[in-house]
Structure 1
């Protein structure tokens, strides 16, 4: 009689553990969803809710028992592929950028927190201890001196320990002829009571209100903007503008409204028309197809985009061709029985694949240095030339192809080494009887028999090189730059590095919306190329 338990027994025995684990996951993710929703990250909150809810249903329902084994893979695909793609496409239809990161509500809050120096000016501030827990605040401006009565001051530590909520307190100032005789308190004393000082208003005899404006300053600071909750009537047209997004400049009396087309607050005239410059920071709004229209119509974007797209296709195709040719030839040579020390050659030739790519790239960057690199030293000594590898577009592209071929040929060689073993030796023997040599065998037998199984891997290699960001970023950073481009663009940029530079290296603020539009186009182009390749190779029919 066996000791193994039945599945039903095991399920009942550990049911409490399963329920406990699922409960912990639900509580943890529920808390995360609440935090994300409160922080305005609605898309991420919805994604977490859908994935966790689906997971709980799959793992608790008997009907979905078979699906629980594939659910982790599907969930990973949704979280790391489908959602980022959908999120990127969504950003492509907005003005999301380094200057338009926030929501309208957050921008309003930031504007209403701005202050300006009102009538009354700024005063130097000193603190004098009168007795235990009581201080005199002394202010000076030119020849004017003001002091307060002894004030009971609360320390920051007491505020935290007693969880106090400090309410704004008005304290009168009195003009005096001399400062208090007690010693001036050190700066650390002010710092230890700063929360209290930030909560008080000092009122001068002229009724000017002063607030703390630095550790040694009290100034007549007023809010620069006021939100008009009830709206306002325009002076010239008499039209009524409803609140609450209207802001009034307390210095000039001018009115501002959020421009929902540009994503910035702008001043308006008496007719309610936008005038003047935009007020940073901006907020995120939907712009429809404008980012895609910029790619199609803006000369400073369209021409670099087309040039970079053509170079990307050439780079990916040439990289596959060069690495395949070298890898296949080397694989055939290593398989040659007459070659002595084949094992040593195999190890040496695979080394470029074993060394981390970024190390090899940085080594080559030094070797190709135009002034001190060993490659230019050799070329100068032999032929008297020193190519401009990093400043001439043709030489820079040639350098990239050389480096990428060096990094990629071991992969192709390994693939071909494995596939060569599947070719029957009888074919070569029959060919030798017909008088064919090694070269004829290579082109008439080896290449045709290797190309069919290699084709799907070549398509994958093309897709990898199409998005080979690391090589470009570390070797040339896209340079040399394309003259006349309105966005950061280089002659050696691939579409992926071009998108990265627009998103994170823009001079006028990172343009995430435009970068997302280009990323969407890249996805469509790569998808179309993959489908074309599948059709041409009939891989879809074979599947």
Structure 2
């Protein structure tokens, strides 16, 4: 009987657990389904697809008994797809487009932006006065060549009231005007009152008796405005007889010119009677596929090719020198800290490891002050010794030297810790046998210590090289890439690494951020670092699964 009750209890518990699992799965599906629809409606198709794939896979893995074992590794796989593979694929896809500060929109959004443009109708400008009727009520009096129109008294909200959200403009934007003759029925409000209520006035649409709509164009003017462009949904016949059937044709209502999207440049441009693009493109531009153009720019454009090669060589030198200097200093200090005849070894170990405990950005900012040309302690000390103050931030060679000094200070504790651990694995018998042969400490270091440490250190040195290859924080905080490279058509500095160079192109371009070119350079960096990772795996004898 007890066994039957126990089975019933287990079944009931399992049933409740199953219902709870299905309930949670349903909530997840509903919430993410809504998110997918909203992202798709907003034009973020790639992110909507990513969400859909991950959620659908997760629901299948966690609800299917056949995939029970996979549910333990699914979170890690999903995280890798969402935060590594997808950003990488997205960056590579951007490298094949003209995506930039001037080409941010889609074609549909660019067309919608142009359709919102207006122009003033000739002869449709009116002077206006704001009449104060008291109790925060005002009238608008418009005049043009002796003809006047006036509105009914109404309340106008101030800019601060609208900004704070305490007032709403519903029903107060379309204002009808009626003809008016005679003197103004109320005193004219001061200019400061107009300025204080400019937000409300600028959103108004004044309607004349003939239906013409006026909008505010300045602190003393209202003018009739019409849409600058019209969307020709059914195509257009040019004077030459050519029929344009593009679904995105726009006509300039002011000049009558026809405008089409140029899918090569990513801008709307006017066309002549032969259907050929003429003139410059109209901003804002839209995103189009440009193929290998960004990669070819890196290889062929002198203003990009020269700086890119210069920065690439410096990046390799910086990464190699950083690894070499930190390894040499770290290994020597590790041997000294392990020297049995050295008194107070524990104290020295702690002091030598302290730079590793201080956050890197703090140390970098401290060194930035120490190397200051006018007030830095390093230059002040050199001046006391009779030397000229070096221009650490203006001279390319000195700037690179300064970067290597700072990075060596930041990196040697890591190498020292590694070497201290590996030194314990070297048998003492080797040193004893060497001593019997008459070898000294220097010979032991180069003949025994270094060879036995280099083999286990090799994968770590390659990883350190890859890290320094992308050491963005050091360059950004210490020099920001300066001094600049003369003649470069993109923002490029002599101390930039490829990663900081990419960042400056993407976000600090003087002529507009060029995300497409930055994506191409980031792809090149990925290939280089990926090759280093494969080399690391090969040297570590790790099978590529």
TM over 0.5: yes
Inter-CA distance 523–181: structure 2 relative to 1 (3 Å threshold): closer
Specify the alignment match of 1:174 in structure 2. 179
1:190/1:215 contact within 8 Å kept: no
Q: Displacement, 1:380?
A: 2.6
Query: In 1, Cα distance between the equivalents of 2:154 and 2:266?
Result: 47
Specify the alignment match of 2:204 in structure 1. 198
Query: In 2, Cα distance between the equivalents of 1:136 and 1:74?
Result: 66
SS at match of 2:91: helix
Q: Displacement, 1:429?
A: 1.7
Q: How does 1:63-462 map to 2 (within 5 A)?
A: 63-119=66-122, 120-127=124-131, 136-141=139-144, 144=146, 146-148=148-150, 150=152, 171-181=176-186, 198-203=204-209, 209-213=213-217, 217-235=221-239, 237-462=240-465
Query: In 1, Cα distance between the equivalents of 2:461 and 2:335?
Result: 18
Query: In 1, Cα distance between the equivalents of 2:107 and 2:156?
Result: 37
Q: Displacement, 1:421?
A: 1.4
Query: In 1, Cα distance between the equivalents of 2:96 and 2:544?
Result: 39
Query: In 1, Cα distance between the equivalents of 2:378 and 2:386?
Result: 12
Q: Which runs of 5+ in 2 are unaligned?
A: none
Q: Displacement, 1:20?
A: 3.3
Which stretch of the first structure deviates more once superposed, 403-412 or 444-453?
A: 444-453
- 1:44 and 2:50 aligned: no
Q: Displacement, 1:26?
A: 2.2
Q: 1:25 aligns with which of 28, 47, 57?
A: 28
1:124/1:218 contact within 8 Å kept: yes
Q: Displacement, 1:507?
A: 0.9
Query: In 1, Cα distance between the equivalents of 2:26 and 2:520?
Result: 41
SS at match of 1:539: coil
Which stretch of the first structure deviates more once superposed, 518-527 or 96-105?
A: 518-527
SS at match of 2:101: coil
Q: Displacement, 1:283?
A: 0.4
Q: Which runs of 5+ in 1 are unaligned?
A: none
2:325/2:408 contact within 8 Å kept: yes
Query: In 1, Cα distance between the equivalents of 2:234 and 2:47?
Result: 35
Q: Displacement, 1:66?
A: 0.8
Query: In 2, Cα distance between the equivalents of 1:51 and 1:454?
Result: 39
1:328-382 deviations in Å (ceiling 9; x for gaps): 1111111111111111111111111111101111111111112221112222322
Query: In 2, Cα distance between the equivalents of 1:102 and 1:373?
Result: 47
Which stretch of the first structure deviates more once superposed, 276-285 or 379-388?
A: 379-388
Query: In 1, Cα distance between the equivalents of 2:392 and 2:277?
Result: 51
Which stretch of the first structure deviates more once superposed, 207-216 or 373-382?
A: 207-216
Structural RMSD (CA): 3.3
Query: In 2, Cα distance between the equivalents of 1:58 and 1:460?
Result: 35
Query: In 2, Cα distance between the equivalents of 1:381 and 1:189?
Result: 61
Q: Displacement, 1:233?
A: 1.3
1:144/1:175 contact within 8 Å kept: no
Query: In 2, Cα distance between the equivalents of 1:481 and 1:145?
Result: 62
Inter-CA distance 381–183: structure 2 relative to 1 (3 Å threshold): closer
Q: Displacement, 1:467?
A: 0.2
Q: Displacement, 1:187?
A: 5.2
1:451-474 deviations in Å (ceiling 9; x for gaps): 111111111111100000000011
SS at match of 1:64: helix
Which stretch of the first structure deviates more once superposed, 495-504 or 434-443?
A: 434-443
Query: In 2, Cα distance between the equivalents of 1:460 and 1:192?
Result: 58
Q: Displacement, 1:25?
A: 2.3
Q: Displacement, 1:532?
A: 4.0
Query: In 2, Cα distance between the equivalents of 1:168 and 1:352?
Result: 64
Q: Displacement, 1:138?
A: 1.4
Q: Displacement, 1:33?
A: 1.3
Specify the alignment match of 1:479 in structure 2. 482
Query: In 1, Cα distance between the equivalents of 2:10 and 2:313?
Result: 59
Query: In 1, Cα distance between the equivalents of 2:200 and 2:414?
Result: 66
What TM-score do you get using the length of structure 1 for normalisation? 0.89
What TM-score do you get using the length of structure 2 for normalisation? 0.89
Q: Displacement, 1:483?
A: 1.1
Specify the alignment match of 1:509 in structure 2. 512
1:357-408 deviations in Å (ceiling 9; x for gaps): 0111111111111222111222232252322211111111111111000000
Query: In 1, Cα distance between the equivalents of 2:371 and 2:195?
Result: 56
Q: Displacement, 1:538?
A: 6.0
Which stretch of the first structure deviates more once superposed, 90-99 or 435-444?
A: 435-444
Query: In 1, Cα distance between the equivalents of 2:494 and 2:173?
Result: 60
Query: In 2, Cα distance between the equivalents of 1:272 and 1:252?
Result: 17
2:139/2:154 contact within 8 Å kept: no
